[in-house]
Every structure is written in structure tokens, then in C-alpha cells.
């Protein structure tokens, strides 16, 4: 069938039946064709970048994960799901995935709660709003490397500000980044300082959108500030909280910069996140195929969380 079509085309034989058919639908909608053209015209610049730098790599990555491709150019052939099988049996992969999940859990809670407290404090109507905003949000404007330099210095076991403070308080010194039991917490503290300002701004904006009448009515009823916070502010903020928690989980799952810069994944792999494992499998181990397979396992995790997020947003807007 297809061959007959092809031969007809190649001979240039006019086909009256098919040539006429589209015309009735085409003629009354000249503007439709124009709309199609201008629509895709406006979309084209974005589409070009989108296809070349997002769609193609994501598909090619999937293909790579099924090959033995390496940076040394050894084996380009398809090897099926061997990379995935190897990854699923790789204790280091599981450990790095576990580290990422552990970081996500212990960072999300303070990153949301502290942001809420900061916003609630400001929302009381403190003077010099800009001063508080500046001090809470400014760290968010720093590059991860700056944050890592600041904190590596403060965590310095002998010369660091934090241990000096601890010993002045009569407390034992802590080997912040060198103790496998503490290192992840040290990274959480640095991350909290760095990015909480973002969640704080989102909370603050949401709080300022709560209609003042709610509070007026409540205070006419004699509800105090605490009462108002728990019976008006918090419930009104529920959709915001859900979104912030989910966005924070997605952001925390991508942890790499601070860890790589502060502990390089150590001590003894105790802080190495899965993104660092992807990075190392590819760029120190030169195993691009294997690295791509782990990328996709990680991607699966992100998709899972994103689908949850999508479900929640849909329910909220419905």
C-alpha cells in the first residue's frame, strides 16, 4: 500500500480524488491557516532550543543508559537493561540515594518551619520591614560556593567560630564536617541559612494576601494573637504550605553543590548524594551509560514526587 502511494508520488501523476478532497476544508479557513502559521511561528524560537537542549538530551540519555558508552569511547553497543540491573545491585548507588532521601527529610522540615516562623514574626507588623527581609533573604542571593566557603570556615574544628563558641559555653567541640554522624546535619544547617529566605518570601506574600477582615472579625470575638494565628493564618496558608513543602522536597532531592564543595561526599561517603554519584560515575569513572542509567532512576523518583505535586495543585485549583 505504501509503496503504491510512493510510486504515484514519484511519477508526479496527478491524483484528482485526493487532490480535490482537502479543498473544501481549506477554503473557508484561510485565516485558520494563517493562525496556524503565526502560532507555530511564535513558538519556533522556543521550540528549537527546547528540542535541541531538552528533548533531545532527555531521549538520548535514555538511549545512553541502554549502552555501554564511556568517555574513553570503548563500547557503544546496546546492552539492554544491564546498566539498570547493575545500578540496582550497586550498594554505593543505594547508599547515595539513601543520603539524598535522608537530607531531603531532615532539611525540608526546618526549611519550612523556620520560614513560617520568620514570616509570622514579620506579619505581626514589625517596624523596619526591609531590614528583616534583607537579613533573612540575602543569603539566598549567594552562590553555593560562597556559602560553602563561609561555612567550611565557621565549621573549622580548631579555628572555627562555632567550636570556639561551644568551648566558651563549656561544651565539647564538634568535628562538624569530619564526623560521619554530624556532617549531614552540618550541611542541613548551611542549607537552612542559605535558602530559607526563599520559602520565607513565599510565606510572607501568602500571609499578606489573607484579607484583613478575617482578623478584624476574630478580634471582635476576642481572639488573641496566638488564637488568630492558629485558627485563621495557618488554615488560610494550607495550600501555600502544601506547595512550599512539595517544592522544597523537589529542591532538596537535587542536593549536590554544598555537599560536593564542603565534604566532597565524605567522610567515607556519608554525605554523598545521588547527583554526585551520577557525576562521578560519568566524569571520574568515564562510564556515561551507567551514569545515565542512575540518572533515570533518580528521574523516576522526581517524577513520583512531581506527580504528587500535580495531583495536589489540580485539586486546589478545581
Partner 1 sequence: MATPTITRPTPRTSTSEGIRRPRKKMTAGKIAALVVAAFIAVLWLIPFAWATATAFKTETDAAAPKVSWMPPSGFTAEAFVKVFQDGNIPLWTWNSFYTSAAITAITLVISALVAYALSRIDFKGKKVLMTVIIASIIIPPPVLIIPLFYQMLALNLIDTSWAIILPQVIHPAMVFVLKKFFDQIPRELEEAAVMDGASRVRIFTQIILPLSRPILAAVAIFVFIGAWNNFLWPFIATNDGALLTLPVGLQTIKSAYGIQYAQNMASALLAALPLILVFLFFQRQIIKGVATTGLAGT
Name residues contacting partner 1, limited to 83-112 (CB under 8 A): none
Verify cis geometry, omega within 30 degrees of 0, for the bond prior to 89. no
Longest dimension (CA), the chain: 96
Q: State the residue for C-alpha cell 560553602.
A: 148
Query: Could you tell me the sign of the dihedral formed by the alpha carbons of 162, 164, 167, 168, in that order?
Result: negative
Residues contacting partner 1: total by CB under 8 A: 107
Among 124, 169, 170, 314, binds partner 1 (CB under 8 A): 124
Write down the least CB distance from residue 15 to partner 1, Å: 24
Q: State the residue for C-alpha cell 494563517.
A: 34
Nearest-Å Rg of the Cα atoms of the chain is 28
Write down the least CB distance from residue 136 to partner 1, Å: 6
Among 79, 101, 106, 149, binds partner 1 (CB under 8 A): 149
Q: State the residue for C-alpha cell 564542603.
A: 262
By the rule CB under 8 A, 75 interacts with partner 1 = no
By the rule CB under 8 A, 178 interacts with partner 1 = no
Residue 234 pairs in a beta bridge with none
Give the range of 16-24, 88-96, 178-186, 221-229 binding partner 1 by CB under 8 A.
221-229
Class of residue 118 by CB neighbours under 10 A (exposed 0-12, middle 13-18, buried 19+): buried
By the rule CB under 8 A, 238 interacts with partner 1 = no
For partner 1, the closer CB: 106 or 301 = 301
Residue 78 pairs in a beta bridge with 67
By the rule CB under 8 A, 247 interacts with partner 1 = yes
Give the range of 7-15, 16-24, 59-67, 76-84 binding partner 1 by CB under 8 A.
59-67
Of residues 182-201, those binding partner 1 (CB under 8 A): 193, 198, 201
Amino acid at each position: 500500500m505504501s509503496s503504491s502511494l510512493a510510486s504515484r508520488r514519484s511519477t508526479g501523476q496527478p491524483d484528482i480524488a485526493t487532490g480535490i478532497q482537502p479543498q473544501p476544508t481549506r477554503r473557508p479557513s484561510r485565516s485558520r491557516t494563517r493562525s496556524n502559521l503565526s502560532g507555530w511561528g511564535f513558538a519556533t524560537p522556543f521550540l528549537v532550543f527546547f528540542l535541541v537542549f531538552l528533548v533531545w538530551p532527555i531521549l538520548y540519555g535514555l538511549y545512553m543508559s541502554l549502552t555501554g558508552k564511556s568517555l574513553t569511547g570503548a563500547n557503544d553497543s546496546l546492552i539492554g537493561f544491564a546498566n539498570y540491573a547493575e545500578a540496582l545491585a550497586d550498594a554505593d548507588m543505594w547508599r547515595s540515594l539513601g543520603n539524598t532521601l535522608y537530607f531531603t527529610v531532615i532539611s525540608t522540615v526546618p526549611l519550612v518551619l523556620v520560614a513560617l516562623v520568620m514570616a509570622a514574626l514579620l506579619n505581626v507588623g514589625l517596624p523596619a520591614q526591609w531590614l528583616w527581609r534583607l537579613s533573612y533573604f540575602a543569603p539566598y542571593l549567594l552562590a553555593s560556593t560562597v556559602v560553602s566557603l563561609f561555612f567550611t570556615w565557621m565549621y573549622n574544628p580548631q579555628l572555627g567560630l562555632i567550636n570556639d563558641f561551644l568551648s566558651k559555653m563549656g561544651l565539647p567541640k564538634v568535628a562538624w564536617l569530619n564526623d560521619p554522624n554530624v556532617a549531614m546535619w552540618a550541611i542541613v544547617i548551611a542549607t537552612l541559612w542559605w535558602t530559607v529566605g526563599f520559602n520565607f518570601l513565599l510565606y510572607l506574600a501568602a500571609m499578606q494576601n489573607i484579607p484583613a477582615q478575617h482578623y478584624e472579625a476574630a478580634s471582635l470575638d476576642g481572639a488573641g494573637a496566638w488564637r488568630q494565628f492558629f485558627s485563621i493564618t495557618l488554615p488560610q496558608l494550607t495550600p501555600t504550605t502544601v506547595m512550599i513543602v512539595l517544592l522544597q522536597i523537589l529542591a532538596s532531592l537535587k542536593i549536590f553543590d554544598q555537599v560536593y564543595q564542603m565534604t566532597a561526599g565524605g567522610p567515607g561517603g556519608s554525605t554523598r548524594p545521588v547527583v554526585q554519584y551520577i557525576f562521578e560515575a560519568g566524569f571520574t569513572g568515564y562510564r556515561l551509560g551507567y551514569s545515565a542509567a542512575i540518572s533515570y532512576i533518580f528521574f523516576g523518583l522526581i517524577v513520583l514526587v512531581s506527580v504528587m505535586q500535580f495531583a495536589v495543585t489540580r485539586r486546589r485549583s478545581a
